[in-house]
A and B are shown apart, each in its own frame.
Chain A
Amino acid sequence: MAGGANPNMIQAAANPYTQASMAQQGALATYANPAARAQQMMNPYQQNVVNKTLRDVGGAAHIGLNTLDAQAQQAGAFGGSRHGVAMAEAAKGYQQQALDAVGALNQQGYNQAMNDAFRSAQGLQSAGQQAFGYGQAVQNQQMQQGAMQQQMMQNLINAGKGQFMGYAQQPQQALAPFISTIHGTPALQGQNQSFQPGLFNYMQVGAHMMG
């Protein structure tokens, strides 16, 4: 694929929120002035259908008038008053035919264009909501995954902080079992009794020895 475009490469789309907003604005503009939107839709209809019909009627009129001329020539009445009246009547008939056809087509086209305008507005609204939904879905996914990552980081921080607190409280931790051991040991209290003899005691001892 050197030098060529990768067919799998997807171009980044416009921001879905911008798309949604633009679609909404377009729909609102149509609801506010449906005739303007219908007019836009009628232009191609007019070009493709109405103008072709006019050309058809015009062509038919041309053929018909030529036929009238030929018939008048054969009858030796070409250029006469009866030929003129016949030509005028024929032209009037073709004109009326054209007007009728165009009027009917315009009416039909306008109704169709109005319906299409409203349908396109509804379509825009629907597409806009969909785009908004895509944006929300992606954003929510980002928020959820981001929160998971943040929570992991928070867990790491909490673990580190726990280690430090253990370190800082190590003296208290060392003291606690010492104190509880002392508390748990019964006081092995005793009495040390001593006697310091006096003069009378010595005399008693001497009397005993002599006796």
Chain B
Amino acid sequence: MAKGGSESKEATLPAWQEQAYQQGINLAKDVSQTGYVPYTGPEVAAFSPMQEAAFSSTDQMANAFGMQGTGGQQYMPQAETFGGGVQGYSSMPIYQDAVQGLRDVAPGQADYIASFGIDPVTGQVGSRAATQQNYKLEMQPRKRGK
């Protein structure tokens, strides 16, 4: 270093690369806040009428030989009709029930989990989402004159 003067060195990146880094990290932060997206559509196909007829035949077979049948009792829940006339079942009611169950027995934990993402109704960002995390810059060069 020359006498009487001061010399400084700074690591640099091309502008386009620095921009990409920052945008990528911001994008990742936003994506991470999405939260769980439940699937509300059908997941399991209902029995077809032909299968129902076969089940009924099994009942008739049992009854014909004096054996116990179902007596017409239904075991499966009533299938729902979804878009396009699809007949099937969705696990959404089970999921909702379970989430509510957790909220009932462990509301703190349920809130904690929810705080990592956005509020799925209002879109408000949760308190523990990536963009809300605290940070302290300790590795930045000090500004000259200070």
Contact = CB atoms under 8 A, between A and B. Distances in A.
Interface in B27-57: 27-28, 30-31, 34, 37, 39, 41-54, 57
Contacts of B83: 160
B24 A182 contact: yes
B96 to A, nearest CB: 17
B12 interface: yes
| Main SS at interface, chain A | helix
In which size bucket is the chain B interface? 35 or more
A205 to B, nearest CB: 11
A201 B5 contact: yes
A174 B84 CA distance: 30
Contact of A201 (B3, B17, B24, B28): B3
A145 B48 CA distance: 9
A194 to B, nearest CB: 5
Interface in A168-211: 168, 171-172, 174-175, 178-179, 181-182, 185, 187-201
Contacts of B34: 171
Interface residues of A, number: 50
B83 to A, nearest CB: 8
Contacts, number: 155
Interface string B76-112: 0000000110111000000000000000000000000
A188 B18 CA distance: 10
A157 B27 contact: no
Contact of B11 (A15, A139, A182, A191): A191
A157 B86 CA distance: 8
A150 B48 contact: yes
A139 B64 contact: no
B44 A146 contact: no
B115 interface: no
Interface of A: 15, 17-18, 20-21, 135, 138-140, 142-143, 145-147, 149-151, 153-154, 156-157, 160-161, 164-165, 168, 171-172, 174-175, 178-179, 181-182, 185, 187-201
